[in-house]
Amino acid sequence: MNGRTGNTERTRVAVQAGCIGILCNLLLFGGKLALGLWGNSISIMADAFNNLSDAGSSVIALLGSRMAGREADAEHPFGHGRIEYIAAFLVAFLLTEVGLKTLESSVRKLMHREALHFSGITLLLLFMSIAVKLGLALYYRTVARRIDSSVFRASASDSFQDMAITAATVLSLGVFRLTGWNIDAAVGLLLSLFVIWNGISILRETVAPLIGESNDPKLSCEIREIVEKHRGVYGSHDLVLHQYGPERYMGSIHVELDGAQSLRRAHALADHIERQIREETGVMLVIHTDPVQTDAEARDCRKRTERLLRAIRGDASLHDFRLRHTEDGREFEFDILLPWGLEKEEEQRITRELEKGLAESLQEKLRLRLHIDHPYTSARSDAESVEAERASAGIENRRE
């Protein structure tokens, strides 16, 4: 079930990045501790221990990525990829905590204003911190992009905000030296609010894949293009993707095939498409086959219904269309795909207008059985536009 980057390569990059992070933070810790002891400064020593806890974040990132990269086993046949999301959550949590601590100390400084003391050594240390943290933030960001890792995205934010907090201290010292104004507490307060806000948004981002998200539009588009380019496929819908860590997906899709063919033939095509999807995208897909009626009458009914629906709402589409002949006349059954978040009244209006429109255009008493569906892919993906175009052009151009 491994994706395209290759799991071992991904883990190797992550472990290397984690080690570099630990090393940088330990160096800062050691340097500050030595200077603090030498200069007998408690505040520098306290700052040194901040870097020790930053090294802790790097350890979480390293261990999380390593564990996430472990192969699937009997207890976890889908692999361990989701461990990475938990690690990212922990890093994001620690980063938010830094914001809360900064907020607390800024409020205290606001209430008890003190003169700012600083020496050449302090300044040297501050610039050293800024350089190391900035370098680390940029490095983590590159790693996060390269292997699409939420842990390293969170770690990059963490390093970047450490850098910003230190830079704010330097700024306050500079302003104090030039003008005598002590803006340390005010700057710290503003910055801490930003850090907390940023931390909460990263927390939300890291939790989202654990709750279950809508499909990645790019991957959905890719899968549906592969499915729909096969001869004998009339359309596809209801693509569901479950993520078991970065680049590990399994899911299902409905594929419309000629309902008159044998089960054996339909199954052979479905199997073939499943294999191709797996080879080209790494996704383990199960195909549910929907029989399409390919006779002229059913095609005409579907086309009329589609045209009417699109006139009522441009962003609606339909699938699984069935035409039945009963004793009381004809019956249409189909699913309507509508965007999320519509009012009940709007959904009722759409079905009412569709019923009215069909009755007028067909001049007969018609039974409609329709079901309302919502998309699993958030934004209207390109594949859906392709489908929309094809639907309006009529489906017969896909006949085998």
3-state class of 327 per DSSP? coil
Instruction: Indicate the pairing of strand 317-326 with strand 329-337.
Output: antiparallel
Q: At its nearest, how many Å lie between Zn ion and the CB of residue 319?
A: 6
Instruction: Indicate the pairing of strand 329-337 with strand 367-373.
Output: parallel
Nearer Cβ to Zn ion (247/320): 320
Nearer Cβ to Zn ion (111/263): 263
Would residue 271 be called left, alpha or beta, if left means φ above 0 and alpha means ψ between -120 and 50 degrees? Answer: alpha
Residue number, nearest CB to Zn ion = 254
Partners of 337 in beta bridges: 317, 373
Tell me the two tokens of residue 174: 């500079």
Place of tokens 């680049």: 247
Nearer Cβ to Zn ion (21/235): 235
Q: At its nearest, how many Å lie between Zn ion and the CB of residue 301?
A: 17
Nearer Cβ to Zn ion (28/227): 227
Nearer Cβ to Zn ion (161/317): 317
Nearer Cβ to Zn ion (288/367): 288
Q: Exposed e or buried b for every residue in 65-91, given b needs 16+ CB within 10 A?
A: bbebbeeeeeeeebbbbbbbbbbbbbb
d(C-alpha 226, C-alpha 277), whole Å = 7
Instruction: Indicate the pairing of strand 284-292 with strand 233-243.
Output: unpaired
Nearer Cβ to Zn ion (192/381): 381
Nearer Cβ to Zn ion (105/293): 293
Nearer Cβ to Zn ion (240/362): 240
3 in Cβ contact with 248 (< 8 Å): yes
Q: At its nearest, how many Å lie between Zn ion and the CB of residue 307?
A: 21
Q: At its nearest, how many Å lie between Zn ion and the CB of residue 238?
A: 5
Partners of 324 in beta bridges: 331
Q: At its nearest, how many Å lie between Zn ion and the CB of residue 373?
A: 9
Q: At its nearest, how many Å lie between Zn ion and the CB of residue 288?
A: 7
15 in Cβ contact with 65 (< 8 Å): yes
Q: At its nearest, how many Å lie between Zn ion and the CB of residue 254?
A: 3
Neighbours of 25 (CB within 10 A): 25
Alpha carbon separation from 16 to 6, 141, 239, 291, 318 (Å, rounded) = 16, 14, 36, 51, 49
Q: At its nearest, how many Å lie between Zn ion and the CB of residue 271?
A: 5
Nearer Cβ to Zn ion (54/290): 290
380 phi and psi, to 5 degrees?
-65, 110
Strands of the sheet containing 233-243, edge to edge, are 233-243, 249-258, 284-292
DSSP tag of 71 = P
289 in Cβ contact with 255 (< 8 Å): yes
DSSP tag of 81 = T
Neighbours of 167 (CB within 10 A): 18
Q: At its nearest, how many Å lie between Zn ion and the CB of residue 263?
A: 10
Q: At its nearest, how many Å lie between Zn ion and the CB of residue 294?
A: 16
DSSP tag of 215 = B
d(C-alpha 372, C-alpha 338), whole Å = 7
Binding site for Zn ion (CB under 5 A): 254, 290, 320
